[in-house]
Chains A and B, each alone.
Chain A
Amino acid sequence: MILPGPDQLAEAGARRPPLRSPRQLAGGLVVLAALALALLVGAAPALAQTGEGVRGTLNNAGERVAGATIVVEQDGEEVATAESDDQGQFSIPLPAPGAYTVTLDLDSLPEGVSVREDGGEVREVTVRPGAVAPALFILGEGTRETTGTAERALQLFVRGLQFGLVIAMGAIGLSLIFGTTGLTNFAHAEFLTGGAFAAYVFNVTLGMNLIPATVLAVLVGAVFGGLLDRGLWRPLRRRGTGLIAALVVSIGLALVLRYLFLYFFGGSSRSYAQYATQQPLNLGPISIPPRDLVIMALTVIVLTVVGIGLQRTRIGKATRAVADNPSLAASSGIDVERVINVVWVVGTALAALGGVFLALSQQVSYLLGFQILLLLFAGVTLGGIGTAFGALVGSLVIGVFTQMSTLVIPAELQNVGALLVLIVILVVRPQGILGRAERVG
């Protein structure tokens, strides 16, 4: 593990420019990212690294059941088998997050012991990335052991906040690009995937630590965004290409990028060399890996910096002016093309950082971004299209809602709930939660 030394950090801090333009902001963000990730490194080494799995305890009226066979299947294929130990406990490592069927072999139980309900020997378990999911088998009578609903709700709420913050990293760029250019960019989710893969190349292929790799990935994202605007979108704006035509172009771009990732990296999921799996910390009722705490802190810092940049800096004010009325902004001397270019740079840089964060909790795959594309749109629309702060609020609502809805609906349907909320909100409040009430039709 190559840690950035104190002198390197000090150097980075000294070179940090005053926060004036988003382009410089992006540089500042990179440094902040490095600093906070360095904190993570300080906290991490003592912790053992574990992967996804299922665990549980077989408890028959206070008596632990040893030697029972537990089989884990996915899509009808056996993934793993294990036996409970002397304490009646079992812990089965699994290769990847996903939905699993955990079955307790009734024949392996001692005589007179069975599950309390018919079909209680089969449990559908959703294993979240980096998490060990509990599989609860209720044996005999009066042995129910479960975490309280309130506790679970709190845990899911925190998880939802984190997910929402990561969505916001993508949604704000999407929203700013829409606000300044009118482009509904279907390729934005691919920028998250791109950032995650760029970090993967630096981290695993080139053997760098994840922290400098993330910084480089954000830079790659920023450069890519700037070049994409110069090379593709600006010529299209010059030609007077309509917004819908540009939207279809962005769909084509998304297909190209997604299949390029598939071509170069294949269809399998990959993990980063560091921080991919961590033992969760127990903070009161909440158990959370330290990595996730750092991710949350970082996203809050980054998003605050972007927010302040939009409110206070010259280029931020210019961005809002262009979003409000491009012609008026241009006639009052604002270089609209430059503003748009800066928005692309910052938007893709944010997306790249969000992609790395997302990949840390979900693994890198070519579908990483595409899987949350609709949640990005939902966050943007929910908050009010074209407003950066709205995108943040909308993303948080979507993140918390998708996680907490699993209290009442199956986890495989969590995105359905979020999308239905989007549709309902559009009926009631089409301008979004924070959007200005205006005639939109």
Chain B
Amino acid sequence: MDFGVIFNNTGNALLNAEALYLALAAIGLNVHFGYTGLLNFGQVGFLAVAAYGLGVGVTYLGLGFFPSILLGLALAVLLALLLGIPTLRLRADYLAIVTIASSEVIRLVARSAALRDVTGGSSGLTGFANGFYSMNPLSDGRYGFGPFVYNENRAFLLLVGWTLVVLSSLLVFMLMRSPWGRVLKAIREDEDAVRSLGKNVVGYKMQSLVLGGVLGALGGFVFAIANSSIQPDNYGTLLTFYAYTALILGGTARIFGPVVGSIVFIGLFVFLENFLVQAIRAGFIPETIMNSNQVGIVRGILVGAGLMLLMIYRPQGIFGDKKELALDAR
């Protein structure tokens, strides 16, 4: 067993792009689920429309980088409005079903052969990230220390991305301390009480949906730029569930919950993979139980079991406060 490789790979992943876009997606979910109590199971849909807004804007419409980013953000806002209008007046589980359905609709439409010219069909889009990397002030080379060593492009993306994470967290922190944020939390606790105080509950929920969706959209940009490509099947429902796991792991309705949760989740994810691969290679796990091709499968089983155990035994996660956690259906 080469523990050096295991820890180096795990350490490298802690700050890498996967943890970054998962954190942004989870910060958005935190606004929806943690602070407002909205059951959004289609967060990946916001990531997808943002990524496709950027990709289609640059490659198909021929816009510049920043106009395409704006297009992606506009699409995320539009998606939030489209989702919110029919469902925010309904019970929470309706929003869950509609959002998960719409995120699948987005993926299926994007990968359809009919839109091959625009979205690239099932093979997706490439060649839109140059606008971002051409702004890179870092010269060629490796940056970082210890396990956190990245090339100049990745280092630039991570700098920009983690800055976005800090700014987003700061924004959420300030908003949730404001009277506006207190109304959101009140809606989470008792919607009818808030309505009886004369607040426009649906309006507040809609604002929350838009804000969380835009934060998720930032994650979509990072996802697309980090891979330099958009693969429609990367935007399946599993990503939403990972974001939920990360959020609950860190602690819902906590500023650092989604960020720490994402880092820990990705860390465990990569650690498990590397550990299992090394253990198989060293012969600690016999081939009859698991071969190296099945590492991903076993990891999937463990993630599912972990999510169940976490929700049953420690639903407040690492930082959470049980009192803030009114995880009840509305």
Contact = CB atoms under 8 A, between A and B. Distances in A.
A182 B329 contact: yes
A329 interface: no
A441 B104 CA distance: 25
A75 B111 CA distance: 12
A245 B327 CA distance: 6
Interface in B300-316: 300-301, 303-309, 311-312, 315
A184 B96 CA distance: 10
Contact of B97 (A242, A243, A381, A420): A381
A419 B105 contact: yes
A245 B105 contact: no
B92 A423 contact: no
A11 interface: no
Interface residues of A, number: 46
Contact of A385 (B93, B102, B248): B93
Interface in A419-433: 419-420, 422-423, 426-427, 430
A254 interface: yes
Contacts of A242: 326-329
Given A184-B93, A251-B241, A241 B312 contact: yes
Contacts, number: 131
Interface residues of B, number: 47
Interface hub of B86, B101, B327, B328 (most chain A Cβ within 10 A): B101
Contacts of B122: 75
B39 A244 contact: yes
A410 interface: yes
B86 A374 contact: no
B256 to A, nearest CB: 20
A252 B92 CA distance: 20
A99 B39 CA distance: 34
B150 interface: no
Contact of B300 (A245, A262, A410, A427): A262
B108 interface: yes
A293 interface: no
Contact of B308 (A249, A263, A381, A410): A249
Contacts of A243: 328-329
B298 interface: yes
Nearest to A260: B301
Interface string B85-100: 1111111111011101
6 contacts: A247-B96, A248-B307, A258-B304, A377-B101, A410-B113, A413-B112
CB-CB nearest 3 A-B residue pairs: A255-B304, A252-B307, A252-B308
